[in-house]
Amino acid sequence: MSTAGATTPPLLEVRDLKVWFGKKDRHHKPVKAVDGIDLMVAAGETLGLVGESGSGKTTVGRAIVGLQRPTAGEVLVEGHNIHRRRSVSPELRRAVQMIFQDPYSSMDPRQKVGRAVEEVLLIHGLADKRARAERVASLLDQVGLLDEHRTRHPHELSGGQRQRAAIARALAAEPRLIVCDEPVTALDVSIQAQVINLLIALQDELSIGYVLVSHDLSVVRYVAHRVAVMHLGRAVETGSRTALYDDARHPYTIALMSAVPSAEVSASKPPRVVVAGEPPDPANPPPGCSFHPRCWLRSQLQRPPLCEQEEPCLRQPPDAADGHLVSCHFVEQVRAHLPALRANAS
């Protein structure tokens, strides 16, 4: 179809994105919330962005939709830099939408749900007056809301229904990419499953790309095709879902997974890998590898000086799957030390 050499750009490409906050002069060090991250999302694909608080995952999401101006780097949607006004058509701007954690604070409390959805159509000129009502009805139906919800205010809906309304609002713009920032965190388990299933069904049907920002590793595993684990503004491990969850290589990823509280009772339950201490302060990051103060591998390797001297780069371990990148100086030794760790844990 396309001529030789000319490839279509990916739906989303994030290149060396940096977002620093605060003054930059001799007396103040900026807080490097995001400090050089590369991401890629194809149509119909979900990229999961996981990490603890302060890892920069939400800031990345905000920079992707254009709510946060990057300090450096590029956010390209279908090849166009979303932060350069001249390169973004209104059509492209519309193609990127966002769903927030708390729909109660992201919706106008005085606006009825139907009106909130219709407003999007109006702003973007997506349907004429007659078609609008029909479109609103079909959008509400698509997210599993009933016709009676059209005339309700946000406070008259349950948490799950409000999140459905927020999804309908995002869908109204006919997006090709949606950044979902903790979309189910505020919901109860039974309702959470409804919304997760809805997001997956919509993706399969409409081939929308998702960036799923979440602290919940189980939710990300269920939804995402590919995953990036963030720690202090950087991706420390990226790869396919199977690579990440069945063959995690970064000491941080391994520790994070073992800390997930699980209601499963099975022999295959991975033993606990204990991380001492708490996530570091982004305003005052440790030198070298940002995970080194808490790293279990480093202590097993008798604290090699390299960890605190040099920041590791993302690279593919020799025996890892294609596209599985890990930023650890001693990634080759992770597997050899896991059994010892497990023996200690049990």
Partner 1 sequence: MQELLAGRAVHRDPLLRIEQLHVSFTERQGTVLAVRGVSLEIGVGDSLGVVGESGCGKTVTALAILGLLSLNAKVSGGVWLGELNLATAPEKAMRKVRGHQIGMVFQDPLASLNPVMTVGAQIDEVLAAHLDLTHRERLTRAIELLRMVEIPNPAARLRAYPHELSGGMRQRVMIAMALACRPQLLIADEPTTALDVTVQAQLLDTLARLRLELGMALMLVSHDLGVVARACRRVAVMYGGRIIETGPMQQVLTGPQHPYTAALLAAQPKLSGPTRTGLRSISGMPPRLREDITACSFAPRCPRAAARCSEQDPALESTNPERAVACFFPSPSEPV
* Site residues (vs partner 1, CB under 8 A): 52-53, 158, 160, 188-194, 196-197, 200, 215-219, 221-223, 241, 245, 255-266, 268, 272, 274-276, 278-279, 294
In the 8-state DSSP scheme, what is residue 149?
G
Q: Which residue number, 61 or 70, has a Cβ lying nearer to partner 1?
A: 61
For 51, residues 6+ apart whose C-beta sits below 8 A from its C-beta are 57, 215, 229, 230, 231
Report whether 243 contacts 78 (CB < 8 A): no
Query: Cβ of residue 190: shortest distance to partner 1, in angstroms?
Result: 4
DSSP state of 83: T
User: Smallest distance, Å, CB 295 to partner 1?
Assistant: 12
Beta carbon of residue 12, minimum distance to partner 1 (angstroms, whole number): 20
* Element of type H or E holding 178: strand 177-181
| DSSP H or E stretch at residue 105 | helix 103-106
Closer to partner 1 by CB, 217 or 243: give it.
217
Q: Which is nearer to partner 1, 87 or 262 (CB)?
A: 262
Measured from the CB atom, the residue of 277 and 318 that comes closer to partner 1 is 277
Given the complex with partner 1, which of 14 and 275 has the nearer CB atom?
Answer: 275
Q: Whose Cβ is closer to partner 1: residue 13's or residue 102's?
A: 102
- At its nearest, how many Å lie between partner 1 and the CB of residue 313? 24
Apex 253 CA angle, 62 and 202, nearest 5: 50
Least distance from partner 1 to the Cβ atom of residue 191, Å: 8
Rounded Cα–Cα distance for residues 326 and 237 (Å)? 4
Smallest distance from the beta carbon of 260 to partner 1, in angstroms? 6
The answer to whether 204 touches 211, Cβ cutoff 8 Å, is no
Residue 77, Cβ neighbours under 10 Å: how many? 26
CB distance 102 to 71 below 8 Å: no
Whole-number Å distance between alpha carbons of 98 and 113: 17
Q: Which helix (H) or strand (E) holds 46?
A: strand 46-50
Distance in angstroms (rounded) separating the CA atoms of residues 173 and 136? 11
Shortest Cβ distance from residue 197 to partner 1 (Å)?
6
Per the listing, tokens 């063959």 go with 247
Rank residues 134 and 281 by Cβ distance to partner 1 and give the closer one. Answer: 281
